[in-house]
Amino acid sequence: MFETQPDQQLFAELYDANPQAIVWMRAIWNESGEAIIDFEYTYCNDEGLRYLNLTREQLPGLFVSNSPTLPEDRRVSILEELIDVYTTGKKTEAVGYNSNLKKYARYLRAKVRNGVMTVIQDTSNEHQIINQLEEQSRKLATQTQELQEQRSLMDNILKHSSNGISVSEAIRNEQGIVIDARTIMANDAAVRFTGLPLDIYLSKTAVELDPTIIESPYYHAYVKTLTTGEPGILQYFFPHTSRWLELSISKMDNDHVIHIFTDITPIKEVQLQLEKSVQELKRSNTNLEDFAHAASHDLKEPLRKIRTFIDRLKASLNTRISDTETHMMKRVEAAAERMQLLVDDLLEFSHVSQQPRQMESIDLNDKVQKVLADLELSIEEKQATVTIEPLPTIYGHRRQLQQLFHNLISNALKYSKTDTPPQISIRSKVVKGADVPSNIPVSQSDKYFHLIEVSDNGIGFEQQYAEQIFDMFQRLHGKMEYSGTGVGLAIARKVVENHNGFIWATSQPGIGSTFHVLLPA
């Protein structure tokens, strides 16, 4: 290419100033001069050396067949391309990627004298930008597809949801106060629940649809959620469809709120009916308690007169009545006495059926001592021994708690063995609800209680009757064997219930019974 030194120097300076890589390779012929077998790297400008990662010292002896700048699998095809350019004299242009150099380039080839000149334009940056744009395009396409899928999913959720879903926009006055709202989106279920045509639902404001809504709990909950951001839940009767709806209100932004409607009409109707039944039951119980109290109170005077006249009749007749008449008179007296006891127990039960109002701190040790003083004669007659461990102080009703222990200790004395002095023990400990072997509600399992146990060595009973003994007028033994009306343990259970506690019994025939009382600690 360069025959003279001035030509070589001039063109070297020109080519080195060129910003593009320029490489000239001389054709290498076989010995017969009939065919080109290789091309030798004869000249590279400075940019060419940089692009090929070569130095000028490496150029001598560097051929296409052994060039480290060319991938091995591409050397044959590049040699064929160079031979074609040389023999035909045509110019070629190609774009390619050099895996050895890890660069993209545009190649311009032309025959120059006894070789081929290649002008290389490095397009790696362009390809990088193109690749980045293509990657961004792929990501954008993926995001667009995901958005479409999400929108399709959201549309399906709104369309097929059994809950009504709507979005409303607040309408404010000049001072920024919410004075109305307009629904801007509603799914099919929301339209169905409200009973309004969709065009009316979306075109009319809330006040236009219901002028009284400003005064409703729904409006106040709406404003509160919009102001504070706290979600609101309320039950609301919708007059257009005569349905009860549970509304969940959530803030979207300062002017928009999401409403979720759930039809709870069947549940609400049952709830309202249940509340009505409970109120009727309370009235009925109150009437029964009032009747029991009045009847028991009114019966006391006739009973007093019956017993008085029996005493007078006995004194008047004195020895003039036969043994049979005397026996009949005693039976009348016993019946009147049992009737008096029943009336007193009914009066007591009517008292404890009323929730105590005066609650105070009660030392149960004092209460038990007073009960033992009241039962002193019975204890002496039975030669009973009562052992009492320290008892707690609880918050309760003084009179009712004393009645509780009176009934439990009396019960132990009454059902003692005829040939064995009663042994009664009273003990207490603090327990957790979950550790109590009794059927108390799960909600009470984490709470602490005072477990008070009253045990005896009496006649006992079969465990299968452990619940029955607390029912009104329930007796496991005959009236002639043991006195009583069957009301005492019912009163005990009522007192415990009034103090938010629980009571149950365990027993074995011939061994004795234990009454377990659980009172909140």
Reported as a single tens digit per residue, the pLDDT across 190-204 is: 778 777 788 887 888
Specify the higher pLDDT residue, 116 or 340. 116
Higher pLDDT, 336 or 270: 270
Banded model confidence at residue 433, pLDDT cuts 50, 70, 90: confident
What pLDDT is attached to residue 482? 47
Evaluated on CA atoms 458, 461, 466, 469, the torsion sign reads negative
The two beta strands, 502-508 and 512-520, are: antiparallel
| CB environment 16-39: b (16+ within 10 A), e (fewer) | eeeebbbbbbbbeeeeeeeebebb
Strands (E), 231-384: 232-238, 243-253, 256-263, 360-363
pLDDT above 80: residue 330: no
- The Cα–Cα gap between 52 and 68 comes to 9
Mean pLDDT of 95-106: 82
Q: How confident is the model at residue 427 (pLDDT cuts 50, 70, 90)?
A: very high
Per-chain mean pLDDT for the chain: 79
* Helix segments in 375-471, DSSP class H: 376-382, 398-414
Q: How sure is the predictor about 86, in pLDDT bands with cuts at 50, 70 and 90?
A: very high
Length of the chain: 521
pTM as predicted: 0.42
**Mean pLDDT, to the nearest integer, of 339-347?**
58
> For residues 236 and 398, what is the distance between their CA atoms, to the nearest angstrom?
45
Please measure the distance between the N-terminal and C-terminal CA atoms of the chain and give it in whole angstroms.
111
Instruction: Using pLDDT thresholds of 50, 70 and 90, give the confidence band for residue 38.
Output: very high
| Structure-model confidence comparison of residues 33 and 479, the more confident one | 33
Tokens coding 292: 């029991």
249 pLDDT exceeds 80?
yes
The two three-digit tokens of residue 416, written as one number:
């003692």
Which DSSP letter does residue 436 get? S
Residue 356's pLDDT is what?
Answer: 54
Please state whether beta strands 115-122 and 103-112 pair in parallel, antiparallel, or not at all (unpaired).
antiparallel
Q: What's the confidence (pLDDT) of residue 335?
A: 67
- pLDDT confidence of residue 13: 67
Give pLDDT, residue 58.
87
pLDDT tier, 2 (very low <50, low <70, confident <90, very high otherwise): very low
Helices (H), 18-62: 46-52
Would you state the pLDDT for residue 277?
A: 81
| Strand-pair partners of 387 | 425
